[in-house]
Amino acid sequence: METRLLRSFVVLAEEQHFGRAAARLHIAQPALSQQLKQLEQQLGARLLDRSTRKVGLTAAGALLQERAQQVLADLDRTAADLALVASGRAGRVRLGFVGTATYELLPSVARRVRAELPGVELELHGELLAPALLDRVLGDGLDLAVLRPSGPPPAGLVVEELRREPLVVALPAGHRLAEREAVALGELAGEVLVAHPSGRRSTLQPLVLDACRAAGFEPEVIEVGETGTLVALVAAGLGFGLVPDAVRALRLDGVVYRPLAGDPVEVPLALVHRADPSPLVRRVVDAVRAATTP
């Protein structure tokens, strides 16, 4: 059944007059009559009663008018939705965040996308480690990821630095240095460091350990997988943390954040995606960039 025939029939059913319906459709009246005949032949049912001057709907015609209006409305909505998807204004994007960016950047990106791209559904994944995020983007489990980069990206992925953030010290609220405006890292020698995992599981721990070594000490380390757990252990008094400044957004009773004294130790924050992103993903990339711009 052709969509063209259904549209013509719906207009004719609304007007119940061949002349007016033909004028609305911008076709000749005989052509409209022929379309109606063709539709009735396809359906095997008489749709209009022409026994009187006023064209009336048969029972079959009334049913078809109701169903055709629904079908055509669905088709129109589908066409509009497809156009939005093709232009990058609608669809679903899967976006992952490294733990140290989850609490500050994730809400900001979500708000911006909701305001600027209302047709986009964001599937958000927070509190993941950078190597796992890279694997998921590479394996098509995520479209985008915000992470702490380390080394060259895998083939097929693009890593774009968004900003650099200074490391700050997370201390228990009752710590002897908690009232300082800034903390010299060397003053924490001999204390336990609560950090993200070592090896390929995290890109942040090597940077943190390098900062401690530059300050003259090798700390004992308690490893945790999530930034929220790291801060909670600091609050419990099990050690101190060295975290990017964005973690300040994770406010937890019993923890204070203090800048490092002297020259700042900075760590990068980057956005990773495949080399050929869709128009939809490119729009979300723009939203993430805007959310990280001071």
pLDDT in tens, 192-225: 999 998 866 678 899 999 999 999 999 999 999 8
Strand bridging mode 192-195 / 220-223: parallel
Whether pLDDT at 179 is above 80:
yes
Whether pLDDT at 90 is above 70:
no
Angle in degrees, CA 177, 247, 179, rounded to 5: 15
- Amino acid, single-letter form, for residue 84: L
Q: Which two tokens stand for residue 83?
A: 């156009």
Could you tell me the end-to-end alpha-carbon distance of the chain, in angstroms, rounded to an integer? 57
Residue 158, CA distances (Å) to 19, 103, 170, 273 in order: 61, 24, 32, 5
Q: Which two tokens stand for residue 125?
A: 């994944």
Torsion of CA 106, 110, 113, 115, to 10 degrees: -140
- Domain positions in the chain are 3-86, 91-163+268-292, 166-266
Per CATH, the architecture of 3-86 is what? Orthogonal Bundle (1.10)
Task: Report the pLDDT value the prediction gives residue 260, as an integer from 0 to 100.
Answer: 96
Mean pLDDT throughout 16-36? 88
Distant-in-sequence, close-in-space partners of 165: CB < 8 Å, separation ≥ 6: 244, 245, 246, 266, 267, 268, 269
In CATH, the number for domain 91-163+268-292 is 3.40.190.10
User: Can you name the residues that pair with 170 across neighbouring β-strands?
Assistant: 241, 257
Q: Do domains 3-86 and 166-266 have the same CATH topology?
A: no
Closest CA to 25 of 43, 51, 46, 4: 4
Mean pLDDT throughout 236-262? 96
pLDDT tier, 247 (very low <50, low <70, confident <90, very high otherwise): very high
Closest CA to 154 of 186, 112, 199, 200: 200
Residue range 35-72, pLDDT digits in tens:
888 888 888 988 898 765 567 888 988 898 889 888 88
Please give the model's pTM, rounded to 2 decimal places. 0.70
Are 194 and 241 a contacting pair, CB within 8 Å?
A: yes
Are 55 and 17 a contacting pair, CB within 8 Å?
A: yes
Please give the Cα distance from 12 to 65 (Å, whole number): 10
CATH number (3.40.190.10, 3.40.140.10, 3.50.50.60, 3.40.50.300) of 166-266 reads 3.40.190.10
